[in-house]
């Protein structure tokens, strides 16, 4: 018997070349075809691909190739999120210009993606660091500004002392910089913000409009946006002419207020204490807190600390005088920066009241004899009946929330109100390798956007990378100097660059029309391709990237640019690739390099293993032995197809499954087609899809030993095997397709249908249970109805013996599967 050697290296190079030469993956708008926009999160070009990339893009490629075979017009583009800190660090450490470093990396990673055989339309490749891209990034920023959604504000901001830059709240994880891990401090700086909070309501509500998104991701976004309903209430302060406005979610507890707390940064604090005996101690207290890092400031374990500021406020409900404090547990940037404190019904207020000896007045009765409202051990936060609350006594507190809010509105002391946890997005970065913010400051005219016809504002090249001090753009001799677009006088450019999360917030729109030099993207092309039908990427982007991208899309929709207001219809978040139960990382030393695996086993084996070892959304434990297994399977496929090639080439089309053996193979084949179709087209169950193909291959090995093997059936089996395996391992399948006499590429070949008839088995094995316990298996004809099934099963001698004259109380029959006989014990 001939030996067939699976030369993956030769095969993969050959077909990659073929795809490239034929330009098979190029995509254009075809008005009559059903479009399918498939997108994987584009990578940061950090150097080489890691296994997480391989997994992400292999998953995407299976879907792309499958939907192409199903006749869809598939858009499957790739690009680079190529601005960012590592490039600048390389410049500082190695003296390489970020642009060179980045392009080297993109080149290397592009080659690796081609080696993996991912079907990308490279004609649409984009890199966010190219002026052709960031020109439109700047244009979009200008639109934000013109629509009042970009503004500059001086604020204490998160400051990473190591990266020497400002960070968004989202980039501070557990109080440390999410890039370098240094503890994040505070610094007062004037910074650009995008008003994402204007979109909070829609970003929340439209989560319901999304298609198939992991519920977990929706929930994370929901919590991040953090909508709270309640009321704003004005308290007067004795001897002070301005009202103190507070926000509360519990207007029902207004009668239980025993003190007030202002955030230390609250503008009233200085006014209220100026010139008095409290000024000095308050200033000391505020000073101590102001530059505390967020990790310390907001730690729940930090003891609550506060200071009386020498003033009293008046409760508008009952005229009660209550002292005014400042305290470390009240934040300036949520609500109004001031709270009413109700220690009886809020645990934080309770702790504070106990520490400082403040009154605790219960206003909601727990209706529980075990709780003594006059001697509370902790705050009572559940529902109950109103007490100590004047006209509202006796009401359920839930109802009192509404009634008291109405009362506030009628009497002009407050109103119903909604607050969000979401903050505006700080986008300024004191960095070089990012999109320059296209804003100009003029002494006379203030902040103005650069004229659109002058875009892009190019990054200057005469810049020093010292890694110290402020933005590197300040070291350019020419960059900041410009003229005012309004009055033509001398003016200065903004020297900060944008957070790179902006670049990735609209790249999916640019892919629709990647080479357009007139506009960011044409509305027509975007209308054809958008929204992204399937988006695939790591769950680590569940909040930031996905929220920002949704925000951008809504804004672009509002100004008439984007055809849709949600960018991603369906989302798949793939799991991490682990080795020895831990995330692969250089510091642990458990990294498996994709390049090594491809060299040793080929890209098809790497793809197959990664797709087979675990469902896409779950974590994947890397196993060298498992890779061997996948390699073995591809060898098995290669061998059997080669062995059967002659038979396949000479056989006619069509077959009749006559013998039992025919029917077995026919069944396995049709089941595999159905399973793979359902698994890819539906729930992305690639691991089970592959296992059904393995079963089919096992059936084929068994069948080919049959003396009376039907050539037509063998031909169908081999043909279908190659077709349904091809999305997973395209190179070997193209090779086998050619070997078995086909001329055209498999890319876009017609996906096979399956026969329902072949999936119906003639005989059924019926499980016989007595009182729910399995006792026997009886073979019957398949497709019997309840009566027929019971008759057939009860006719069986063994079943008769099991019943043995005892009373049958009940008979449960599940067609073709099971009978449960309930008898007297």
Partner RNA sequence: GCCGGAGUGGCGGAAUUGGCAGACGCACAGGACUUAAAAUCCUGCGGUUCGUGAGAAUCAUACCGGUUCGAUCCCGGUCUCCGGCACCA
Pick 300 or 478: Cβ nearer RNA = 300
Strands, DSSP E only, in 720-817?
Answer: 763-770, 773-781, 808-814
Long-range contacts for 343-347 (Cβ within 8 Å, ≥24 apart)?
Answer: 343/256, 343/258, 343/379, 344/253, 344/256, 344/373, 344/376, 344/379, 344/380, 345/250, 345/253, 345/256, 345/379, 345/380, 345/381, 346/250, 346/253, 346/379, 346/381, 347/378, 347/379, 347/381
Q: Position of tokens 């027929």?
A: 788
**Binding mask of the shown chain, residues 403 to 422, with x at each position contacting RNA by CB under 7 A:** ----------------x-x-
Pick 204 or 332: Cβ nearer RNA = 332
- On whether the CB atoms of residues 687 and 629 are closer than 8 A, the answer is no
Contact flag: residue 190 with RNA (CB under 7 A): no
Q: Which stretch binds RNA (CB under 7 A): 308-316, 520-528, 561-569, 606-614?
A: 606-614
DSSP string for residues in 768-785: EEETTEEEEEEEEETT--
Count other Cβ atoms within 10 Å, centred on residue 288: 12
Positions 192 through 231 that interact with RNA (CB under 7 A): 215-216, 219-220, 223-224, 226, 228, 230
Q: How far apart are CA 165 and CA 428, in angstroms?
A: 9
The binder of RNA chosen from 406, 649, 698, 801 (CB under 7 A): 698
The binder of RNA chosen from 131, 570, 775, 796 (CB under 7 A): 775
User: In DSSP terms, which residues pair with 194 in a beta bridge?
Assistant: 150, 425
Q: Which stretch binds RNA (CB under 7 A): 504-512, 520-528, 592-600, 681-689?
A: 681-689
Positions 69 through 98 that interact with RNA (CB under 7 A): none
**CB 214 → RNA: shortest distance, Å?**
9
Pick 559 or 760: Cβ nearer RNA = 760
Q: How far apart are CA 710 and CA 110, in angstroms?
A: 46
Q: Which stretch binds RNA (CB under 7 A): 103-111, 435-443, 520-528, 683-691?
A: 683-691
**CB 213 → RNA: shortest distance, Å?**
13
Coil, strand or helix: which one is 534?
strand
Nearest to 647 by CA among 726, 784, 514, 740: 740
Pick 451 or 761: Cβ nearer RNA = 761
Contact flag: residue 328 with RNA (CB under 7 A): yes
Q: Which stretch binds RNA (CB under 7 A): 196-204, 432-440, 693-701, 711-719?
A: 693-701
Pick 198 or 628: Cβ nearer RNA = 628
Positions 142 through 181 that interact with RNA (CB under 7 A): 169, 173
Q: Exposed (0-12), middle (13-18) or buried (19+): which is 772, by Cβ within 10 Å?
A: exposed
Q: Exposed (0-12), middle (13-18) or buried (19+): which is 591, by Cβ within 10 Å?
A: middle
Pick 210 or 822: Cβ nearer RNA = 822
The binder of RNA chosen from 70, 114, 195, 304 (CB under 7 A): 304
**CB 231 → RNA: shortest distance, Å?**
9
At residue 441's C-alpha, the angle toward residues 451 and 134, to 5°, is 45
Q: Which stretch binds RNA (CB under 7 A): 293-301, 500-508, 720-728, 783-791?
A: 293-301
The binder of RNA chosen from 429, 545, 675, 715 (CB under 7 A): 675
Positions 535 through 554 that interact with RNA (CB under 7 A): 539, 542-543
Contact flag: residue 516 with RNA (CB under 7 A): no
Contact flag: residue 250 with RNA (CB under 7 A): yes
The binder of RNA chosen from 77, 316, 337, 563 (CB under 7 A): 337
Positions 255 through 274 that interact with RNA (CB under 7 A): 263
Pick 531 or 768: Cβ nearer RNA = 768
The binder of RNA chosen from 154, 241, 300, 357 (CB under 7 A): 300
Q: How far apart are CA 434 and CA 130, in angstroms?
A: 10
The binder of RNA chosen from 645, 688, 745, 755 (CB under 7 A): 688
Contact flag: residue 664 with RNA (CB under 7 A): no
**CB 825 → RNA: shortest distance, Å?**
11
What the block records as the tokens of 339 is 């709270």
Contact flag: residue 558 with RNA (CB under 7 A): no
Contact flag: residue 623 with RNA (CB under 7 A): yes
Q: How far apart are CA 473 and CA 471, in angstroms?
A: 5
Nearest to 571 by CA among 44, 170, 207, 193: 207
Pick 303 or 744: Cβ nearer RNA = 303
Pick 302 or 559: Cβ nearer RNA = 302
What the block records as the tokens of 681 is 């087209």
Q: Which stretch binds RNA (CB under 7 A): 123-131, 386-394, 674-682, 749-757?
A: 674-682
- On whether the CB atoms of residues 643 and 704 are closer than 8 A, the answer is yes
Q: Is 352 left (phi over 0), alpha (psi -120 to 50) or beta?
A: alpha
Pick 92 or 576: Cβ nearer RNA = 576
**CB 590 → RNA: shortest distance, Å?**
15
Beta pairing, strands 582-583 & 568-574: unpaired
Contact flag: residue 288 with RNA (CB under 7 A): no
What the block records as the tokens of 429 is 């970065």
Beta pairing, strands 439-442 & 446-449: antiparallel
Contact flag: residue 297 with RNA (CB under 7 A): yes
What the block records as the tokens of 809 is 């109380």
Q: How far apart are CA 55 and CA 316, in angstroms?
A: 61
Q: How far apart are CA 269 and CA 272, in angstroms?
A: 5
Q: What value does the CA radius of gyration of the chain take, rounded to a whole number of Å? A: 34
Angle between helices 603-612 and 686-703 (to 10 degrees): 110
Residue 356 C-alpha from the chain's centroid: 45
The binder of RNA chosen from 25, 192, 247, 255 (CB under 7 A): 247
Beta pairing, strands 446-449 & 425-426: unpaired
**CB 564 → RNA: shortest distance, Å?**
26
**Binding mask of the shown chain, residues 443 to 482, with x at each position contacting RNA by CB under 7 A:** ----------------------------------------
- On whether the CB atoms of residues 612 and 690 are closer than 8 A, the answer is yes
Stated as kind and residue range, the H or E segment containing 262 is: strand 259-262
Pick 226 or 390: Cβ nearer RNA = 226
Considering CB under 7 A, how many residues would be counted as binding RNA?
88
Q: Which stretch binds RNA (CB under 7 A): 77-85, 189-197, 246-254, 650-658?
A: 246-254
Contact flag: residue 346 with RNA (CB under 7 A): yes
**CB 216 → RNA: shortest distance, Å?**
5
**Binding mask of the shown chain, residues 754 to 773, with x at each position contacting RNA by CB under 7 A:** -----------x-x-x-xxx
Contact flag: residue 685 with RNA (CB under 7 A): yes
**CB 672 → RNA: shortest distance, Å?**
11
Handedness of CA 579, 580, 583, 585 (dihedral sign): negative
């Amino acid at each position: 018997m001939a030996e067939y050697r699976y030369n993956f290296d030769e095969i993969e190079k050959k077909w990659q070349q073929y795809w490239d030469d034929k330009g098979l993956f190029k995509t254009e708008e075809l008005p009559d075809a059903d479009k399918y926009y498939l997108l994987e999160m584009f990578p940061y070009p950090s150097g080489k691909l890691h296994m997480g990339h391989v997994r992400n893009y292999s998953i995407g490629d299976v879907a792309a190739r499958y939907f192409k075979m199903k006749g869809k017009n598939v858009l499957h583009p790739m690009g680079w999120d190529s601005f960012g800190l590592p490039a600048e660090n390389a410049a500082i450490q190695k003296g390489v210009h970020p642009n060179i470093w980045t392009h080297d990396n993109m080149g290397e990673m592009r080659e690796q993606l081609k080696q993996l055989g991912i079907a990308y339309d490279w004609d649409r490749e984009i890199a966010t660091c190219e002026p052709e891209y960031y020109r439109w990034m700047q244009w979009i920023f200008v639109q934000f500004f013109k629509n009042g959604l970009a503004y500059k504000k001086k604020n204490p901001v998160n400051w990473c002392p190591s990266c020497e830059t400002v960070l968004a709240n989202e980039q501070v994880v557990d109080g440390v910089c999410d890039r370098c891990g240094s503890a994040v401090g505070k610094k007062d700086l004037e910074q650009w913000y995008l008003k994402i909070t204007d979109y909070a309501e829609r970003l929340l509500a439209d989560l319901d409009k999304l298609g198939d998104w992991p519920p977990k991701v929706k929930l994370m976004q929901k919590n991040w946006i953090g909508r709270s309903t309640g009321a704003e209430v004005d308290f007067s302060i004795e001897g002070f002419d301005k009202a103190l406005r507070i926000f509360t979610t519990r207007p029902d507890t207004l009668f239980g207020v025993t003190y007030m707390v202002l955030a230390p940064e609250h503008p009233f604090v200085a006014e209220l204490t100026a010139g008095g005996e409290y000024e000095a101690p308050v200033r000391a207290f505020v000073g101590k807190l102001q530059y505390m890092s967020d990790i310390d400031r907001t730690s729940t374990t930090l003891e609550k600390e506060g200071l009386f500021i020498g003033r009293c406020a008046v409760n508008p409900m009952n005229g009660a005088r209550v002292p005014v404090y400042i305290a470390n547990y009240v934040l300036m940037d949520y609500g109004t920066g001031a709270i009413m404190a109700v220690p009886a019904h809020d645990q934080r207020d309770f702790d504070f009241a106990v520490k400082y000896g403040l009154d605790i007045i219960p206003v909601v009765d727990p209706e529980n004899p075990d709780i003594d409202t006059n001697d509370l051990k902790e705050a009572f936060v559940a529902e109950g009946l109103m007490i100590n609350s004047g006209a509202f006594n006796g009401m359920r507190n839930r109802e009192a929330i509404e009634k008291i809010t109405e009362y506030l509105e009628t009497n002009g002391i407050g109103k119903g109100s909604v607050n969000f946890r979401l903050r505006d997005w700080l986008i300024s970065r004191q960095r070089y390798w990012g999109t320059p913010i296209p804003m100009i400051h003029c002494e006379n005219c203030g902040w103005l956007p650069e004229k659109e016809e002058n875009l892009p504002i190019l990054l200057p090249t005469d810049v020093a990378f010292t890694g110290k001090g402020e933005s590197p753009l300040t070291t350019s001799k020419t960059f900041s100097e410009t003229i005012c677009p309004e009055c033509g006088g001398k003016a200065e450019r903004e020297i900060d660059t944008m957070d790179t999360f902006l670049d990735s917030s609209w790249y999916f729109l640019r892919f629709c029309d990647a080479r357009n030099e007139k506009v960011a993207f044409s509305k027509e092309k975007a209308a054809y391709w958008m929204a992204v039908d399937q988006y695939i990427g790591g769950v680590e982007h569940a909040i930031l990237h996905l929220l920002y991208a949704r925000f951008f899309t809504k804004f672009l929709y509002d100004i008439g640019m984007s055809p849709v207001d949600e960018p991603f219809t369906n989302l798949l978040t793939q799991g991490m690739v682990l080795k020895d139960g831990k995330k692969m990382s250089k510091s642990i030393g458990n990294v498996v390099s994709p390049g090594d695996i491809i060299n040793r086993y080929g890209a098809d084996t790497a793809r197959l293993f990664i797709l087979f070892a675990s469902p896409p959304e779950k974590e994947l434990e890397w196993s060298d032995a498992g890779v061997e297994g996948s390699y073995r399977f591809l060898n098995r496929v290669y061998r059997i197809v080669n062995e059967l090639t002659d038979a396949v080439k000479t056989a006619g089309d069509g077959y009749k499954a006559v013998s039992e053996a025919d029917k077995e193979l026919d069944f396995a084949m049709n089941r595999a087609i159905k399973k793979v179709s359902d698994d890819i087209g539906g729930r992305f169950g690639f691991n089970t899809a592959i296992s059904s193909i393995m079963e089919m291959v096992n059936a084929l090995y068994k069948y080919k030993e049959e003396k009376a093997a039907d050539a037509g059936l063998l031909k169908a089996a081999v043909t279908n095997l190659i077709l349904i395996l091809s999305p997973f391992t395209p190179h070997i399948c193209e090779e086998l397709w050619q070997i078995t006499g086909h001329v055209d590429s498999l890319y876009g070949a017609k996906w096979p249908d399956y026969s329902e008839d072949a999936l119906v088995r003639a005989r059924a094995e019926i499980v016989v249970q007595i009182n729910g316990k399995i006792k026997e298996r009886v073979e019957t004809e398949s497709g019997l109805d309840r009566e027929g099934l019971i008759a057939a099963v009860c006719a069986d001698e063994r079943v008769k013996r099991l019943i043995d004259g005892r009373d049958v109380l009940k008979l449960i029959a599940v067609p073709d599967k099971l009978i449960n006989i309930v008898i007297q014990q």
